[in-house]
Structure 1
Amino acid sequence: MTQIISSLAQISSRYDALFVDLWGCVHDGVQAMPEAVTALQDYRRKGGIVVLVTNSPKPRAGVEVQLQKFGVPTDAWDTIATSGDSARSAMFRGAVGEKVFFMGEWERDEEFFTPLKLLEDPLNIELVDLDQAEGIVCCGPFDPMADPADLRPQLLYAKTKGMKLLCANPDIVVDRGEVREWCAGAVARLYTEMGGESLYFGKPHPPIYDLARRRLYALGHDIPDSQILAIGDGAQTDIKGATGEDIDSLFISGGLARADTKTSHQPDPEALTAYLQREMSMPTYTIGQLR
């Protein structure tokens, strides 16, 4: 049974580092959440390390710019691990070939294709039309408000050609303020259901956790998993991933699941239990919002 807590400070002394989700926990896609920012600042002042672990398809530098835009101060975190960085590394190593078809919003996702300087002999990725492609790079649907099923014709063609789909963001949906949008994970899920092969690098899959640990180590910290707490609002991403890595977790019930858990300030215990049972999820702790 998950333990409902009232604040991060109630449990934070048990952990040397946090792996913190961004969207729905620290910001809402429009602006920072003040209580969450204060909680992370307080944790860092006491010596804790905060790694922001996000399924954003953006490289780390792009997320830093976005955080500044949303009003998340730099003293609320130490480093960042993104699904985009894990996926980019795989792309430039040839995971889906050299000639790729891009799905996403180019003005938002162009930086995904910036060459990685850390790799030796990265592949020279060429963006081509679908009928010339060896694989697909998906940073999201072309229209985040449209039903992903609209992409079935392109996905069916790709499946018949045996193309792999690299998913830069395993999230199914996010809430931008009060508006719910589809993410790359919805496209990848559909492609898999159609019989295609999707490759994942963000939560709940291991590559992003390996990257987060490397980010910690680069800061000079070799922290065991038993001393790390993962925080997030996605039962099938943040919590499932933490469980798979044997890392304790704090579920933010007032994010994506706020309606299902009847969360205002805190979740309704019965609604929370029913939701977690339905999702087959068992976070170590739960709180309405990060505070």
Structure 2
Amino acid sequence: MQQTLISGLSSIADDYDAILCDVWGVLHDGLTAHEGVADALARFRENGPVVLITNAPRPSHPVVAQLKSFGIPETTFDSVVSSGDVVRKFLAEKNVRTVYHIGPTRDLPLYENLPITLVEDPADADAIMCAGLRDDDTESAEDYRAELAGIVPLDKPFICANPDIVVERGGRLVYCAGALGQLYDQLGGTVLQFGKPHDRIYEAAIAEVKRLKPDATRILAVGDGLPTDVTGANRQGLDVLFITDGIHAEELGEPGHPDLDKVAARLAAEELTATHFATRLVW
């Protein structure tokens, strides 16, 4: 499939009724917003709804607050669907009451207003929640090998609340819950995955699009992650705008100047397609 390099969203906006847009990597790098993204989203909203779809292992409202702190106001999007939202629904449906939490304290809003008690011993838990590394500035998945190896024989539901392996933070890559889920799987455990590229989060996000615009059929997915954003969109049969200056930037040529042959080869190697690609999301 021939991918089209575009200079901005304006060149394809009229072809779509709605956007499902990734957050971390497309809108910001974990520390600051990327230039032009707020304007691009606000302008597209004249065509149709913008639903943000994120693997953040938290409910939507902290995500909205973070975006606002970066200068991306609520007026630039219509709704947010997070991996945390989908996990919370699952916990409620399965009547989970006790959880062993792996992750930083910033992800504790995941349990807000749910009848859940956090326990210190995984053997006492109804489920193991993998939200991330406790200190992603200094740790890697290998720091958790012994802990995870001890959990596998317990045969507890192991919930990976964020399938991302890495994200970019201020120009460097840090590990996410997906790296722990990957190791848990290698150790012989079974992982329940939530977030992109898995179906539950897309079902919720597309339902939001339909709520906002019932006749929307032409939906564009925007993202920078091949194993999450692009894979998920391909599985859903959605067109994709692949942002190259994200987590794969160094693989695809010089940042800001992607090598078109490398982009095509990387997509082909993963058996993925992208309808369009751009260095950053701008109008």
Pair in the same fold by TM > 0.5: yes
* 190, 193, 197: which one aligns with 1:200: 193
Q: Deviation of residue 244 (structure 1)?
A: 0.4
Matched residue, 2:259: 268
Q: Equivalents in 2 of 1:263, 1:78: separation in Å?
A: 34
Q: How does 1:1-291 map to 2 (within 5 A)?
A: 1-44=2-45, 46-94=46-94, 97-106=96-105, 108-115=106-113, 124-128=115-119, 129-144=121-136, 145-219=138-212, 221-224=213-216, 226-291=217-282
- For residue 143 of structure 1, what is the amino acid of its counterpart? D
- For residue 247 of structure 2, what is the amino acid of its counterpart? L
Q: Equivalents in 1 of 2:70, 2:160: separation in Å?
A: 25
- For residue 20 of structure 1, what is the amino acid of its counterpart? C
- For residue 153 of structure 2, what is the amino acid of its counterpart? T
Q: Deviation of residue 130 (structure 1)?
A: 1.9
- For residue 22 of structure 1, what is the amino acid of its counterpart? V
- For residue 75 of structure 1, what is the amino acid of its counterpart? T
Deviations 1:225-284 (A, max 9, x none): x41000000011000000000111110011011101114334111221222223322111
Q: Equivalents in 2 of 1:60, 1:168: separation in Å?
A: 13
SS of 1:196's partner is coil
SS of 1:34's partner is coil
Q: Does structure 1 retain, via aligned residues, the 8 Å contact 2:240–2:274?
A: yes
Gaps of 5+ in 1: 117-123
- For residue 64 of structure 2, what is the amino acid of its counterpart? E
Deviations 1:123-169 (A, max 9, x none): x3221122322320111011213120221122112111111211111
Q: Deviation of residue 76 (structure 1)?
A: 1.4
SS of 2:25's partner is coil
Q: Equivalents in 2 of 1:193, 1:223: separation in Å?
A: 43
SS of 1:238's partner is helix
Count of paired positions: 279
- For residue 221 of structure 2, what is the amino acid of its counterpart? A
SS of 2:101's partner is strand
Change (3 A) 1:273 1:218: closer
Matched residue, 1:120: none
Q: Deviation of residue 223 (structure 1)?
A: 4.0
SS of 1:283's partner is coil
Q: Equivalents in 2 of 1:251, 1:228: separation in Å?
A: 14
TM-score, normalised relative to structure 2: 0.94
What root-mean-square deviation, in Å, do the aligned CA atoms of Structure 1 and Structure 2 show? Answer: 1.5
Deviations 1:76-112 (A, max 9, x none): 11111101100111122237x4322100011x01211
After the TM superposition, which of the residue ranges 242-251 and 1-10 deviates more from structure 2? 1-10
Q: Deviation of residue 8 (structure 1)?
A: 0.9
Q: Does structure 1 retain, via aligned residues, the 8 Å contact 2:131–2:160?
A: yes
